[in-house]
Amino acid sequence: MRRTRPAFTLIELLVVIAIIAIIISILLPGLSAARRNARSTVCLTRLRELGKGWHNYADDNNDISLPGRMANLGGGTGNPANWYEIGNGLKYRPRWAATMGKSVGVFALSQPSVTDDRQDYDNKVYQCPELPEWIDERNYAYGYNHQFLGNARRTNGKFHNFPVNRSMIASFGSTVLAADCLGTAAGVATADRLPYDNNGGAFAALGNHGWTLDPPRLIANGDRGTGDAGSPRTAVDTRHQNKANVVFADGHGEKRTAESLGYSTASDGSFVESDQNTRNNDWSGSTRDEDPPEKPS
């Protein structure tokens, strides 16, 4: 006589499904945290690659530190004096990341343009894996310590702080080179910040003008943010488990809180420009708490 195999009852099946669901709910947070940690590690690795490129750039340019952006010599895109070779072609007033593509060994732009001021970086080395859409060369994920290391903006025909010789840096290991940047939204109350806009220019938008990274303490007659009148300041973005990835001038990287880097925030979440807690020790290049340079008179 043929025997029939016992089947699961509906209740047993539901119990198994419930157990599987419980196991998944236990594992998912751990898997999510592991993915975040992996993205943070990749981000830090990419920043360190940019740090190596910074040194290579200085080696190839008579010890001159990379400027945050090449100077505006007037005439816009129609003036060839505003076109700069970045290794795989000419680019209109490239920002720091694009400028050192040749020095990094990987170009930030596959097709640099002399007529386009807002290209997207299309190489992953220049992208933060936590925010892969923040790739506009202006509204960028990584900000550069340009106020101390090379600010080629001009006032009254004079550079704000350029050229800067790399050899003038007293301590490479304690000088911030670049880091995750919140853009000008840093100077806006948390509740008033707007979503990231790749081609936008709103001060309150996340990542706006993120290629610049202002030091913690600013001065009245100094630079800030976009450099335009009324611009809020920029500051680090603690996007990796409440910490920012930072690469220092000696090439090493760290995860740091905003407070440990010298920043201070107001009760509304905006980064303040100056109070008793803001310190520029990790930014000045001298290990001292120095003011950033004033705009030329």
Partners of 23 in the β-ladder? none
Model confidence pLDDT, tens digit, residues 193-207? 999 999 999 999 999
Q: Is the pLDDT of residue 11 over 80?
A: no
Q: What is the pLDDT, as a whole number, of residue 37? A: 85
Query: In a 10 Å sphere around its CB, with 0-12 CB exposed, 13-18 middle and 19+ buried, how is residue 34 labelled?
Result: exposed
Distance (Å, rounded) from C-alpha 230 to C-alpha 233?
10
Give the chain's radius of gyration (CA, Å): 23
Model confidence pLDDT, tens digit, residues 212-249? 999 999 999 999 999 999 999 999 999 999 999 999 99
Mean pLDDT of 26-52: 85
pLDDT-derived band at 109 (thresholds 50, 70, 90) equals very high
Distance (Å, rounded) from C-alpha 176 to C-alpha 238?
15
Give me the chain's average pLDDT, please: 93
148 contact partners, CB below 8 Å, separation of at least 6: 161, 164, 175, 215, 280, 283, 284, 285, 292, 293
Q: What is the pLDDT, as a whole number, of residue 21? A: 80
Mean pLDDT of 177-201: 98
Report CA-CA distances (Å) from 192 to 68, 150, 187, 203: 28, 31, 10, 10
Q: Is the pLDDT of residue 27 over 80?
A: no
Instruction: Give the residue, 142 or 4, on which the prediction is more confident.
Output: 142
Nearest partner of 182 among 254, 102, 245, 113, judged by Cα:
245
277 contact partners, CB below 8 Å, separation of at least 6: 259, 262, 264
pTM above 0.85, yes or no: yes
pLDDT-derived band at 3 (thresholds 50, 70, 90) equals low
C-alpha angle with apex 296: 82 to 97, nearest 5 degrees? 40
Structure tokens at 275: 């109070």
Model confidence pLDDT, tens digit, residues 123-145? 999 999 999 999 999 999 999 99
DSSP summary character for residue 137: S
Percent of the chain surpassing pLDDT 90: 86
pLDDT-derived band at 115 (thresholds 50, 70, 90) equals very high
Q: What is the pLDDT, as a whole number, of residue 241? A: 92
Nearest partner of 148 among 52, 244, 214, 72, judged by Cα:
214
Nearest partner of 68 among 110, 100, 104, 21, judged by Cα:
100
Structure tokens at 52: 């190596």
Distance (Å, rounded) from C-alpha 171 to C-alpha 24?
48
Q: Is the pLDDT of residue 4 over 60?
A: no
Instruction: Give the residue, 279 or 34, on which the prediction is more confident.
Output: 279
Q: What is the pLDDT, as a whole number, of residue 274? A: 95
Query: In a 10 Å sphere around its CB, with 0-12 CB exposed, 13-18 middle and 19+ buried, how is residue 111 labelled?
Result: exposed
Partners of 248 in the β-ladder? 176
Instruction: Give the residue, 110 or 23, on which the prediction is more confident.
Output: 110
Q: What is the pLDDT, as a whole number, of residue 294? A: 97
